[in-house]
Amino acid sequence: MSELGAMKCLVALKQHGSLSSAADYLQMPKSTLSRRIAVLEQQLGHRLTRQNGRKLLLTSAGLKFVDYAEGIIELMVKGQKALHEEYDSLEGVLHIGLCQELSRGWSTEVLNRFRQANPGVSLHIHQLDHVDAHEASFIDLWISCCDREISDSTNSVLLARWEQGLYRSATTNIENQFDIPETASWVRSPNETGEVKLYNSEGHCHFTYMPTSVVRISSMHMRADAISQGFGVGLLPSWVAECKRYGLKNLRRVMPLLRGKEVYLRMYQRAECTNPTVLSLKKWIQQQVPPKWTSQ
């Protein structure tokens, strides 16, 4: 912002015709105004002002540059106005539904940061599965990895694609990272049935296995805890194990060149919704998705 402040000094000098008048307008000492312009001249490598008797005037380079400076300042003012119109006036109560996979980590930070930036907004956050979301007509936005429509009157936006990997505890005594003992226990979701299949980067199946010893846990976070504590191996979204910010420690990937089927994270909204607060939160959430979630 120091360059912007110097530009404002230069524009004030042009508009008010003298150093004293410009300093009075900006409510700063003349020495501060002169110093800021001098620093800007050093950064640009050109003299922007010249002394003419007791008056400080703009050089031809200064006159040329001040035209650009006025444009930059005008854009800044427009940007501040746009932010004020979009965010400062947001208010109301929003009901947000989350699948259990988002019950901690990224979603906690993103939603609370939105609320802090918009103190007029109250967020009521509910953990909902697909059936509950279908019946909960009061929900403004629902974020889920169920990858299905909840009703004909709902629009969905793809937020992310989670790569799944096969993981074990980092403390499990397995010598080869590509080996899974025949006696290994498996930790799976109730939705995972049949053989475990892993695919290469081209989408070809390179590994199949039918687990015989299985613990089924609905909660992804509880599955991750069970795997990290050495109670079995299982598929998890890679960020759960590898994300430094939101991930869980003590997980090691097995067969790292292979992956399970991707998990699609979607955000759902009632098609008829025109509430500016809901639309702003929707835009905010889309902007906060970690880049790695969208590039896999």
- Based on the fold, state whether residues 181 and 238 are members of the same structural domain: yes
Range of the structural domain that residue 241 is part of: 163-261
114: CATH: 3.40.190.10
pTM, entire model: 0.61
Q: What is the pLDDT of residues 4-42, one digit of tens each?
A: 888 999 999 999 988 899 888 888 888 888 999 999 999
33: CATH: 1.10.10.10
Residues 216 and 186: their CA atoms lie apart, in Å, by: 8
- Based on the fold, state whether residues 10 and 21 are members of the same structural domain: yes
Instruction: Return the pLDDT at 134.
Output: 59
Residues 150 and 70: their CA atoms lie apart, in Å, by: 51
Q: What is the pLDDT of residues 32-48, one digit of tens each?
A: 889 999 999 999 999 99
Three-state secondary-structure class, residue 218: coil
Which range is most confident: 130-134, 174-178, 201-205? Answer: 201-205
Of 43, 60, 88, which residue constitutes the final position of a domain? 88
- Bridge partners (DSSP) of residue 123 are 94
Task: Report how far Cα 54 is from the mean position of its chain's Cα atoms.
Answer: 54
- Based on the fold, state whether residues 180 and 114 are members of the same structural domain: no
- Based on the fold, state whether residues 154 and 269 are members of the same structural domain: yes
- The DSSP secondary-structure symbol of 259 reads B
150 in the Ramachandran plot: left (φ > 0), alpha (ψ -120 to 50) or beta? alpha
Residues 96 and 126: their CA atoms lie apart, in Å, by: 6
Three-state secondary-structure class, residue 273: coil
- Based on the fold, state whether residues 66 and 212 are members of the same structural domain: no
Q: What's the angle, vertex CA 85, arms to CA 80 and CA 90, rounded to 5?
A: 125
In total, how many domains does the chain have? 3
Instruction: Return the pLDDT at 239.
Output: 82
Pair 106, 290: CB distance under 8 Å: yes
Q: What does the block give as tokens for 98?
A: 């989350």
- Based on the fold, state whether residues 156 and 167 are members of the same structural domain: no
Q: Mean pLDDT, to the nearest integer, of 62-80?
A: 90
- Based on the fold, state whether residues 243 and 254 are members of the same structural domain: yes
- Based on the fold, state whether residues 149 and 202 are members of the same structural domain: no
Q: What does the block give as tokens for 114?
A: 């939105």
Residues 234 and 198: their CA atoms lie apart, in Å, by: 11
- Based on the fold, state whether residues 190 and 251 are members of the same structural domain: yes
230: CATH: 3.40.190.290
Of 88, 113, 129, which residue constitutes the final position of a domain? 88
Q: What is the pLDDT of residues 96-144, one digit of tens each?
A: 988 888 887 888 899 999 999 888 899 999 887 765 665 667 888 888 8
Residues 166 and 174: their CA atoms lie apart, in Å, by: 14
- β-strand pairing of 154-169 with 121-127: unpaired
Pair 103, 143: CB distance under 8 Å: no
Task: Report how far Cα 199 is from the mean position of its chain's Cα atoms.
Answer: 28
Q: What single letter denotes the amino acid at residue 220?
A: M
- Based on the fold, state whether residues 218 and 84 are members of the same structural domain: no
